[in-house]
Amino acid sequence: MDRSLPKEAAAEGGRFSGPAPEAVQAGLLAWYDRHRRRLPWRALPGETPDPYAVWLSEIMLQQTTVAAVKPYFEAFLARWPRVADLADAPLEEVLTAWAGLGYYARARNLHACAKAVTQRHGGRFPDSETELRDLPGIGPYTAAAIAAIAFDRPATPLDGNIERVTARLFAVTEPLPGVKPKLQALAATLTPAARPGDFAQAKMDLGATVCLPRTPKCLLCPLEALCSARAAGLADQLPRKAPKAPKPTRRGVAFWLTRPDGAVLLRRRPPKGLLGGMTELPSSDWTTEGPKEGAATAPAVVPWRALPGLVRHTFTHFHLELTVWVGRVQDWQDIDGFWVPLDGLGAAGLPSVMQKIAKHAIKAGG
């Protein structure tokens, strides 16, 4: 299993046909000292990072933009200032606070990780990649990122930004995801012994602001003279990626059921899977065939009225089209779920798709 170095490197006795690491390190760190972004979770120069804040930000930032994360990060840190506070919180409260950020398994794992750090490590995050990797929700990227950023360990995180920067620096033309181990090995040859955390963040900042996916700003890049893809005129074509599978459309019915006092029926979803553990409006199954007997899955036997229009939403691997049915009940004692007044929906922690359903129903006068 030779995935430590590319073949051509071994053939050259360990030398890479890429830029000199010392030049990349010096150029990128100098650029970072001038252009570093001020982010809520980022320690200022000379400050000691808080591993809890670093971990929290890294989990939130998985597949999620900086702009989306900012308000959630602030809210979580204000509400649960230390990892033990988060560990003591009920999971439902964590899920409610996470609502709208997506990938809800992250919130479940966040809570489990807080408990593990509190119980297994006495409330302090471990500083080695291996121990970090053993915690829920922490994979290869996040373990390396925390080790480097929070503990200044010479680790080599490889996220989407660093994949792109590395593929271009070395002009790697094979497609992702197959080429990822090679990119990891190439990236590791660049990691400096001094300031590895800053170096990792510098690569991510460069990828986010200069070495962009579509139209890289090579004229502004501190590594332009060192970049093999730039020299070959390939920068805007790398990294190559395998084609993605098309998304099917699933259809279903969502039920907006209200009581005489105006409260609406909500439920909690099963603990795992899509939107696992989150609050929902009751609905039929979502299938590519569409609902045959919508009434059969309704939460109550009442006269249902289908609202005009559709609620559309796109998940990671399918499109969703929902019809909304509205109904009213007089007797609700045998109905499974819980009732929330309309002015309490905002605090109920609904995922975005459920917010869309509620908005559609309220606008239509449900």
Partner DNA sequence: AAACCGTGGGG
Partner DNA sequence: TCCCCAAGGTT
Catalytic residues: 58
State which residue, 82 or 133, has the beta carbon closest to DNA: 133
Burial of 304 (0-12, 13-18, 19+ CB in 10 A): middle
Beta-bridge partners for 292? none
| Whether the bond into 246 is cis, omega within 30 of 0 | no
Instruction: Give the Cα separation of 186 and 126 in Å (integer).
Output: 26
329 CA to centre of own chain = 39
Residue 92, CA distances (Å) to 21, 75, 137, 158, 286 in order = 47, 16, 18, 32, 24
- Residue numbers of the site for DNA (CB under 7 A)? 39, 41-42, 57-58, 61-68, 100-105, 109, 136-143, 145, 159-161, 164, 201, 204-205, 207-208, 213-214, 241, 244-247, 273-276, 313-317, 351-353
Residue number with CB closer to DNA (101 or 340): 101
CA dist list (Å): 178 to 164, 183, 248, 360:
14, 10, 25, 43
Cα(235)–Cα(249) distance, rounded to whole angstroms? 35
Of 139 and 309, nearer to DNA (C-beta) is 139
Least CB distance to DNA at residue 340 (A): 17
Q: Which is nearer to DNA, 337 or 351 (CB)?
A: 351
Check if the beta carbon of residue 193 is closer than 8 Å to that of residue 175.
no
Report the alpha-carbon distance of residue 113 to residue 179 in Å, rounded: 30
Smallest separation (angstroms) from DNA to the CB of 213: 4
Instruction: Give the nearest distance from C-beta 296 to DNA in angstroms.
Output: 22
Nearer to DNA, 139 or 262 (CB): 139
In the complex, what is the shortest distance from the CB of residue 157 to DNA, in angstroms, rounded to a whole number?
Answer: 8
Smallest distance, DNA to C-beta of residue 184, A = 11
Nearest one of 199, 200, 163 to 183, comparing CA atoms: 163
